[in-house]
Amino acid sequence: MVRFLLGLTFASTLLSCSDSSVNNSSVFFGGEIVNPTSEYVVLYHNDSYVDSVKLDDKNRFSFLLENIDEGLYHFDHAPELQYIYFSKGDSILARLNTVEFDESLVYSGRGSDINNFLIEIFLENENEEALITSFYTLEPETFSKKIDSLHTLKAKQLEELAIGNQLSTRALAMAEASIDYNTYITKEKYPFYHKKKTGEEIIHELGDDFYGYRKNIDLNNKDLTYFRPYFDFMKWHFGNLSFMNCIDKCSTDKKPVSDRLHFNKHKLALVDSLVEQAELRDILFRNVAMDYLLREHNPSEEASAFIDSFKSLSSNSEHQREIDLLYTGIVNLQPNTTLPNIKLKDFEDNEVTLKDLAKNNKNTVFYFWTAEQKRHFQNVKEHISSLEIKYPHYNFVGINLRTNFTQWKQLMDEHKLDADNQFYGENFKELQMAMIIDGLNKCVIAKDSIVVDGFANLYTSL
């Protein structure tokens, strides 16, 4: 209840004027951002840009959107983003504090009910992560009962919301999806997490009804294509199906073939056979190819053949170009190659290249961090301090990713980071492709401007 009261004073100052400007076919979306980390709020529908507005001198913003489609959107205030659901005629105000972006976000006005519900479920799912992790050691039936009880509690919340509010059929389906697919993800994860946590040698036998929810799954839901819980479920679901299919058809000892190329071929084939909706097919194909290549360290004929298979299935030319760039990055990070000619910015906003930063006659370690992952940033900062003591003859260079330049400079000052060894990566996609960033523990080791290890790990390679 406290979260819903936070924005009332602010709402009273803007709702009257926003209501007067909204007709039945338009949508008003405005708000206030405390402690802004960017000058702009950017609005997207699926993966397409809709509009952007600049914060005023009171850190407020507003959009008036004409003739837009009902459905799920997301707004970006770098480096954070969050979903928002629009129905025609909505007049929604948002208030948030970037210090606790999701936790402080509260909506008011017409259309706020579904959006407050979505953020509440999002936060509940986050808060349950540790509890659910502790459930993975349980036997399947016990695990299901506990997971289903958490699902039931959320479903009752939605029932109460639906009684007091007139939700459209599509809005109600979105609210249901926010509950259902996070529950289904835990079921898809269970056999793998249970095996890992218990030390069992093979996948635990599951009852016939363990995956009972699968018969109700829509594998071609256009409205949910860009909804993270749905897409994450799809990734886990196809990974699970591929694994089990491989055990049944490719193994004689109930153990899957360990070759990653083999496994990802299974995933491509399953997506091709089960998903018909064109856009969803393409982003799933892209995900399979990215997942394979981001962990593939050696160029080979087999990898080239896999890319050809991907291209024969994907109808998205931009995805195809992206995969080609990624594979080129793998080739260019092999030992004894020259560092990619990637440009970064220093603290004074000057351009520098990776080659400029590789010190003569010293090993240079390029590592990565982002403001989005606060715990990782703190851990890396401490780890680098210990490595600098252990390896005084090495040069450690931090590259910031997916953070607003102004916020990066603020973090540099706040944490007293050495500006001589910290640089800003403005183009994340270019960096990801060139440096094959498959995780924030990835690092690249070079001597002079020559690659020594293009696929090192900050915690295990030094």
What is the structure's pLDDT at 10?
45
DSSP state of 127: H
The domains located in the chain, with CATH, are 2-110 (2.60.40.10), 126-332 (no CATH), 343-457 (3.40.30.10)
Q: Is 282 exposed, middle or buried (0-12, 13-18, 19+ CB in 10 A)?
A: buried
What is the structure's pLDDT at 253?
64
pLDDT band of residue 6 (cuts 50, 70, 90) is very low
What is the structure's pLDDT at 256?
62
> pLDDT over 90 for what percent of the chain?
72
pLDDT of 402 higher than 90:
no
Q: What is the DSSP string of 152-187?
A: HHHHHHHHHHHHHS---HHHHHHHHHHHHHHHHHHH
Average of pLDDT values for 23-32? 88
Q: What is the DSSP string of 349-412?
A: S-EEEHHHHS-TTSEEEEEEE-TT-HHHHHHHHHHHHHHHHH-TTEEEEEEE-SS-HHHHHHHH
What is the structure's pLDDT at 352?
94
Tell me the β-bridge partners of 239.
none
Distance CA 89, CA 21 (A): 10
Distances (CA, A) of 341 to 209, 360, 430: 54, 17, 11
First-to-last C-alpha distance (Å) of the chain: 49
What is the per-residue pLDDT across 262-286, written as a single tens digit (0 to 9) for each?
Answer: 889 999 999 999 999 999 999 999 9
What is the per-residue pLDDT across 215-256, written as a single tens digit (0 to 9) for each?
Answer: 989 999 999 999 999 999 999 999 999 988 888 777 666 566
pLDDT band of residue 38 (cuts 50, 70, 90) is confident
Half-sphere exposure of 256 (CA within 13 A, CB side): 18
User: Three-state DSSP class for 441?
Assistant: coil
Average of pLDDT values for 353-369? 89
Distances (CA, A) of 112 to 86, 162, 163, 447: 9, 13, 15, 55
pLDDT of 257 higher than 90:
no
What is the per-residue pLDDT across 409-420, written as a single tens digit (0 to 9) for each?
Answer: 988 999 999 999
Cα angle: 88, vertex 51, 342; to 5 degrees: 145
DSSP state of 216: G
Distance CA 370, CA 37 (A): 14
Distance CA 184, CA 147 (A): 9
pLDDT band of residue 201 (cuts 50, 70, 90) is confident
Cα angle: 217, vertex 225, 400; to 5 degrees: 130
User: Three-state DSSP class for 302?
Assistant: helix
What is the per-residue pLDDT across 118-146, written as a single tens digit (0 to 9) for each?
Answer: 999 999 999 999 999 999 999 999 999 99
**Dihedral pair phi/psi, residue 356, rounded to 5°:** -65, -30
Nearest one of 304, 320, 352, 333 to 432, comparing CA atoms: 333
Tokens of 430: 């270019």
Going through 38-122 in order, the beta strands assigned E by DSSP cover 40-45, 48-54, 60-66, 71-77, 80-86, 91-97, 106-110
Average of pLDDT values for 350-379? 88
DSSP state of 204: P
What is the structure's pLDDT at 420?
93
Yes or no: say if 23 and 65 are a contact pair by the CB < 8 Å rule.
no
**Dihedral pair phi/psi, residue 89, rounded to 5°:** 90, -5
